Amino acid sequence: MTDTTSSEPAPIEIPEGVWSQPEVDMSAIEEIASVESVRSVRAFASLTYDYTPGLATTRFLRAIKEKRLVGERCSETGKVYVPPRGVSPVSGMPTTEQVDLGLDGTVVSFCVVNLDFTGNAQEIPYVSALILVDGSDIPIYGLVREIPYNEVQPGLRLKSVWVEDSEMTTSFENIKWWAPNGEPDVPASELADYV
Amino acid sequence: MGAERVAVVGVGQTKYTAVRGDVSLPGLLREATFRALEDAQMTLADIDAIVIGKAPDFFEGIMVPEYSFVEALGAVGKPIFRVHTAGSVSGSTAIVASGLIESGVHERVLTIGWEMQSCSEAMWALSFNMPFQQQLVAGAGGYFAPYIRQYIARSNAPDDTGVLVALKDRQNALKNPYAHLHEHDISYESVKESLMLWDPIRYSETCPSSDGAIALILTNEAGGDAASAEGRPPAWVHGTSFRSEPAMAAGRDQVSPQAGKDCAADVYRQAGITNPREQIDVVEMYVPFSWYEPMWLENLGFAEEGTGWQLTHDGVTAMDGDLPINCSGGVLSTNPIGASGMIRFGEAALQVRGMAGEHQIDGARTALGHAYGGAAQFYAMWVVGADKP
Amino acid sequence: MRDVAIIATAQTKHVRSATTVNEVELIQPVIQEVIERSGVARHDFDFTCSGSSDYLAGQPFSFVMTLDAVGAWPPISESHVEMDGAWALYEAWVKIQTGHADTALVYSYGKSSPGDLPRVLSRMTDPYYEAPLWPTSVDIAALQARAAIQAGVTSEQAMADIAYRSRTSAAANPFAQLTTSAQPLALMDEEYLADPLRRHDCAPVTDGGVAIVLAAGDKARSLCSRPAWIRGIDHRADGHHLNFRDLTTSPSVRIAAEKAGVANGPIEIAELHTCFTHHEPILRSALGLADDVEVNPSGGPLAANPMMAAGLIRMVEVANRIHSGDVSRGVAHATGGHALQHNLIAVLEGEG
Amino acid sequence: MPEEATTSGEEDVLRAPLVLEYPFKRTTGPVIGAFLTALREGRFIGIEDDQGKVLCPPVEYDPASGASLTKLVPVGSEGEVLFWSWNQSVRDGQPLDHPFAWAMVKLDGADTPMMHAVDAPHEVMVTGLRVRAKFAEERIGSMDDLLCFEPVS
């Protein structure tokens, strides 16, 4: 399925150089030369895959459906990975030990976003943060809400805010966002290893 | 070891722009290729092998597109090779091409980096909504912005450092006829007042999406000597290196990644560089968000940790400073993703050949080309010089 | 040129669908196994290179996740090709030739099962004139098979014989996916899948992976009692467009075979990347193989065809027979693109 | 393709469809653009190489040397099947919705064939078959303007 686009690409200025696409000689095909030329086409492509996320992600998502966050430990370094992908990227060995993590976390760093990249009506600006979940050793990204955006700081303690139990699925979307949990900030020195 | 010396004797670039509406896909690669061949005083028949790099095939929606360009590149009966290593890709590609000569396998190699981003959208091609994976809630800049914020916190850099970098690179681009963005009216105020997309990254501190291709012709020592004898100075390759580290390794420093430090140390060792700040005259650095200039200055050993921003503020990295960075306008002015790494490498070569035109740094003898990709985890670098190593 | 050898190999059991694992879980055991066999410590490899395809995975930068299986920390010298792993091996071989590396880890993998593989491969055709028609890999192979039959290069009977021989040979290959076949005459009674191709003429859809370790000179000798030396290696492309090619011969294989020195000594076995039965006579002829040369004793891709790995597996199969002392000299072939467009030839030898 | 379900049932994993869909935009350049323009007009054109051989569909370069080609010439709408295969299981996006032949068709006046569909019964397909282009009634300047080829009766 293709269709031509109506928008004519803007002409560009080619810098002085030694080669550009040569002019074509259409003298033998005047009836084609005399009509408007096709300059571009649309090529619609659709492929469908039967996607499987693998064993470790399945374990993680089955747990998240039960409102649990589960990481997996590297047997060599002891570091806990979340979300787990089945292999420790440091040792190259399978992560077979599952570790129950807390449902709270700490802001490691963040940015304030002024465009809606989420596709649903967010308040703008909003805060996207690197959050170190309690018990894990690698931060994940998450939205921070229920606090003015200009009050978010590294070290801020957060709780995860979940969808209703009836809406829980095997999906990251179960966590709607993160919000301050009221605990004192974690000193920056304790977060130095996580950025 | 490192049996054969490598010379860059041809550099060809397309005009970079948002939509190259006047050329086909193979036409885009041919434009860069023929310009490089003309520079090298060669024809397609002189080429032994072709090494091509680009970003993911989903950008154009063609699986291994180089296969359908074989005839267009005069490559029938020749080796054709495709490298794919994330944003650093066409830097890696040039290194693979260089290795073919250094090893003595081939004598004359054409290498091309390209992308036609207008075929789709970067947002689509780089981040599908994969099932079971966390959706990006902040776009591409949202990935890097927290690390930039961390850099600012560590270094106490003034918050207009990024503005100064963007202003410098976009003004440099005005001297480069191939650059995508030619913003004649740009000013400190216009950058600073542009929309704060991902605080601390402003709109004018981010790279554009471009169509374009770059081609390099690499030869062995005899080829470099011959070009030199004919008054066409080659750029000699003094060192090449790539390094990778895992995106998600616990404890990795994403502000100044170890892989970048190791890659720089390796390429400097090969090039005999013990003091990069003194010995390197000009740098083409992969800076897609303005703040990465001070961050890479530190990562690459040009400044002590926490002080890279001072070079930017002191004008050291400007065209008239003593360590000019991105005289071509850099990635901030031109970003066909799969070509951006090789553009850094090619512009470094143009500088030491004395052929960079209006953005030439007088007397440039040694230059660094730098590329990175992924979650700041893949690095490719080369050092080129006017003198034979 | 420096002496470079394959000193260790490992591969998955190849299956129709490795549904339970993702790519990194698929390849991790193979990488671990080859590292253990090689005797090189995980963090001591001078270079690492891999081959895979984003279009198979349906994911951009799919190779980034798989790097986890290497344990790339501290950072490593590493590269990736969007081609079969045989070309990753080629890049590693070149790296060793430059003197920047003495050892290299090479791996590749393909999970074809999530997509409709023949349809996915239609995205590899000319983007202007062919891709809009969605011709599958089987459609294009069937056109080539017809051209070969018309030219007298092969016949449907000869193709059935090749299918039978390959799949029954695979019975001795513990990693193969298809290990049985009806007799050739019975195969000829089957209906066409895509006239002139029948089901048995086509390689299966396979999930699997492979890894090898390369080492140079004395390093190889110290780590392996009988290294499989790469005596020659070269790769060449033919044109892409079927309209400009003679599909019944392979000029690129002819050139690569000459550059790799296939004819410099007797060939005992050949492992050929034959995704379709009619590829075998085309390749045999272009390689100049004598009639008594054993082709694909492993069963070849007709018995197990993990995309992006099946070419590198050809090298593994020849290397394994050299390691075991069964043969002294063999040729391995890998291909990429449609209708044997891009071909790599390697000559492997045992010492003495 | 042979089917052999050897999936190990060791553990049940999650699965979901992943649909990759995009209307890619392709700029044509002057040569491919001229071919598509001709299709819109219900005609074919080719391009002449240095030896006077006509390539149809046209490309911007000599397939052997890569040298630029520029001379566009008319080509007929009838031609001959050089070789073919039978497509029994039609997939989405292919030119026809019922079984058809893929064929390399050399049009009159051209020296190289083009790949497309021939709408004819399986038993009619034969090398050397004369065929004629069937164009879409509404044409917009794309490959879809050429529906298929049909036997010349």
Give the mean model confidence (pLDDT) for residues A151-161.
Answer: 97
| Residue ranges per structural domain of chain B | 7-121+210-229, 137-207+239-385
pLDDT over threshold 50, residue A6: no
pLDDT over threshold 90, residue B1: no
pLDDT over threshold 70, residue A12: no
The alpha carbon of residue D92 is apart from the nearest alpha carbon of chain B, in Å, by 17
Q: Which of A48, A53, A92 sits opposite C70 (nearest CB)?
A: A92
| Residue ranges per structural domain of chain C | 4-113+205-225, 117-203+229-349
Query: What is the interface size between A and B, counted as CB pairs within 8 Å?
Result: 151
Q: With cut-offs at 50, 70 and 90, classify the pLDDT of residue B140.
A: confident
Give the mean model confidence (pLDDT) for residues C41-63.
Answer: 95
Decide if A130 contacts A140 (C-beta within 8 A): yes
pLDDT over threshold 50, residue B265: yes
pLDDT tens string B95-130: 999 999 999 999 999 999 999 999 998 877 776 678
- Given an 8 Å threshold on Cβ–Cβ distance, is A86 in contact with C115? no
Tokens read off for C24: 């990194």
Backbone angles phi, psi at A5, to 5 degrees: -90, 145
Q: What is the pLDDT of residue D7?
A: 39
pLDDT over threshold 50, residue C337: yes
The alpha carbon of residue A5 is apart from the nearest alpha carbon of chain D, in Å, by 8
CA Rg, chain C, in Å? 19
> Among all chains, which residue has been given the structure tokens 């074509």?
A24
B182 touches chain A (CB under 8 A): no
* CB-count burial class (<10 Å; 0-12, 13-18, 19+) for A125: middle
A55 touches chain D (CB under 8 A): yes
B139 touches chain A (CB under 8 A): yes
Give the mean model confidence (pLDDT) for residues C12-24.
Answer: 94
Give the percent of chain C with pLDDT over 90: 97
Q: Return residues 31-50 of D near C (CB < 8 Å).
A: 32
Write out the H or E segment, with its range, that includes residue A178. strand A175-180
Q: With cut-offs at 50, 70 and 90, classify the pLDDT of residue A3.
A: very low
The alpha carbon of residue B29 is apart from the nearest alpha carbon of chain D, in Å, by 12
- Given an 8 Å threshold on Cβ–Cβ distance, is B21 in contact with A108? no
- Given an 8 Å threshold on Cβ–Cβ distance, is B64 in contact with C98? no
b/e map of D114-152 (b: 16 or more CB within 10 Å)? bbbbbbbeeeebeeebebebebeeebbbbbbbbbbbebe
Q: What single letter denotes the amino acid at residue C133? A: L
Give the mean model confidence (pLDDT) for residues B236-249.
Answer: 96
Q: What is the pLDDT of residue B124?
A: 77
A75 touches chain C (CB under 8 A): no
CA–CA dist C313, C175 (Å, integer) = 11
D-interface mutation test, from C53, C128, C192, most D Cβ less than 10 A away: C128
Cβ-Cβ contacts under 8 Å for B3 (sequence gap 6 or more): B102, B103, B104, C97, C98, C99
Q: Which of B44, B75, B119 sits opposite D24 (nearest CB)?
A: B119
CATH superfamily of C117-203+229-349: Thiolase/Chalcone synthase (3.40.47.10)
Q: Would residue A132 count as lying in a domain? A: yes
Q: With cut-offs at 50, 70 and 90, classify the pLDDT of residue D10.
A: very low
CA–CA dist C345, A100 (Å, integer) = 51
pLDDT over threshold 50, residue D8: no
The alpha carbon of residue C339 is apart from the nearest alpha carbon of chain D, in Å, by 14
Indicate if the alpha-carbon torsion angle A102, A103, A104, A106 is positive or negative.
positive
CA–CA dist C281, B308 (Å, integer) = 63
Give the mean model confidence (pLDDT) for residues B315-324.
Answer: 98
Of residues B91, B124, B12, B69, the one with CA closest to residue B380? B91
Of residues C117, B357, B269, the one with CA closest to residue D1? C117
pLDDT tens string B203-225: 999 999 999 999 999 999 999 99
- Given an 8 Å threshold on Cβ–Cβ distance, is D14 in contact with A53? yes
Tokens read off for D82: 């050089």
Q: What is the pLDDT of residue C211?
A: 98
- In CATH, the number for domain B137-207+239-385 is 3.40.47.10
In sequence order, the β-bridge partners of residue B382 are B240, B369
Q: Which of D24, D27, D31 sits opposite B120 (nearest CB)?
A: D24
The alpha carbon of residue A183 is apart from the nearest alpha carbon of chain C, in Å, by 35
Q: What is the pLDDT of residue A166?
A: 94
pLDDT tens string C264-273: 999 999 999 9
CA–CA dist A175, C17 (Å, integer) = 32
> Which residues of chain B does C234 touch, with a Cβ-Cβ cutoff of 8 Å?
79
pLDDT tens string C161-206: 999 999 999 999 999 999 999 999 999 999 999 999 999 999 999 9
B129 touches chain A (CB under 8 A): no
Q: With cut-offs at 50, 70 and 90, classify the pLDDT of residue B368.
A: very high
What is the number of domains present in chain A? Answer: 1
Give the mean model confidence (pLDDT) for residues B55-71.
Answer: 96
The alpha carbon of residue C252 is apart from the nearest alpha carbon of chain B, in Å, by 5
| Residue ranges per structural domain of chain D | 29-151
pLDDT over threshold 50, residue D74: yes
Decide if B224 contacts B237 (C-beta within 8 A): no
D-interface mutation test, from C54, C59, C146, C240, most D Cβ less than 10 A away: C146
> Which residues of chain D does A39 touch, with a Cβ-Cβ cutoff of 8 Å?
27-28, 33
- How is domain B7-121+210-229 classified at the architecture level of CATH? 3-Layer(aba) Sandwich (3.40)
Q: What is the pLDDT of residue D11?
A: 59
pLDDT tens string B71-90: 999 999 999 999 999 889 99
Q: Would residue A21 count as lying in a domain? A: no
Q: What is the pLDDT of residue A5?
A: 43
Residues in chain B: 389
> Which residues of chain A does D144 touch, with a Cβ-Cβ cutoff of 8 Å?
1-3
- Dihedral (Cα; B299, B303, B304, B308), 10-degree rounding: -80
- Given an 8 Å threshold on Cβ–Cβ distance, is D40 in contact with A38? yes
- How is domain C4-113+205-225 classified at the architecture level of CATH? 3-Layer(aba) Sandwich (3.40)
CA–CA dist B157, C28 (Å, integer) = 42
B281 touches chain C (CB under 8 A): no
Q: With cut-offs at 50, 70 and 90, classify the pLDDT of residue B313.
A: very high
pLDDT over threshold 80, residue A157: yes
Decide if A51 contacts C115 (C-beta within 8 A): no
Give the mean model confidence (pLDDT) for residues C142-162.
Answer: 98
In sequence order, the β-bridge partners of residue C120 are none
Range of the domain at A124: 55-187
Q: Which of D3, D7, D28 sits opposite C128 (nearest CB)?
A: D28
Decide if B263 contacts B379 (C-beta within 8 A): yes
The alpha carbon of residue C293 is apart from the nearest alpha carbon of chain A, in Å, by 40
Neighbouring subunits of C (3+ Cβ pairs under 8 A): A, B, D
Decide if B242 contacts B371 (C-beta within 8 A): no
Q: Which of D104, D127, D143 sits opposite C242 (nearest CB)?
A: D104
> Which residues of chain D does B128 touch, with a Cβ-Cβ cutoff of 8 Å?
18, 20
Q: With cut-offs at 50, 70 and 90, classify the pLDDT of residue A189.
A: confident
In sequence order, the β-bridge partners of residue A4 are A41
pLDDT over threshold 60, residue D79: yes
Q: What is the pLDDT of residue C178?
A: 98
pLDDT over threshold 60, residue B2: no
CA–CA dist B349, B284 (Å, integer) = 10
pLDDT over threshold 90, residue A113: yes
Give the percent of chain B with pLDDT over 90: 93
